[in-house]
Amino acid sequence: RKEVEQDPGPFNVPEGATVAFNCTYSNSASQSFFWYRQDCRKEPKLLMSVYSSGNEDGRFTAQLNRASQYISLLIRDSKLSDSATYLCVVTSFNDYKLSFGAGTTVTVRA
């Protein structure tokens, strides 16, 4: 089983729509969770951390479900500029490295 699994998509949505997708992780000792955004052939950029209570940053909402070992990202009122690949990232408490999912591609169309 892969350490971090994501639905690759693509999710093709119109501007203004809401899009949501999940990521599952296999290591129950995982401690920190993040969503990164990556544009084509660019570096991953930290979008937001994911906290146990769930958190929001503008149009973006992240949720964590430790019992089922998944995290989610919801994008409201999609903009053209939201088109990107969204990377789910997980780390363990005593482990410095980040484990990446393969990414979920979102395309927002006019």
Partner 1 sequence: EPEVTQTPSHQVTQMGQEVILRCVPISNHLYFYWYRQILGQKVEFLVSFYNNEISEKSEIFDDQFSVERPDGSNFTLKIRSTKLEDSAMYFCAPSLGGGYNYGYTFGSGTRLTVV
User: Is residue 89 involved in binding partner 1 (CB under 8 A)?
Assistant: yes
Taking CB under 8 A as the criterion, the residue among 75, 87, 106, 108 binding partner 1 is 87
DSSP class of residue 81 equals: G
- Evaluate whether 8 touches 103 at the Cβ level (below 8 Å): yes
Residue 58's contacts (CB-CB under 8 Å, 6 or more residues apart) are none
Residues 37-76, mask of contacts with partner 1 (x by CB under 8 A): ----xxxxxx--x---------------------------
Give the pair of three-digit tokens for residue 45: 């950029």
Interface positions with partner 1 (CB under 8 A): 31-32, 34, 36, 41-46, 49, 87, 89, 91-93, 95-103
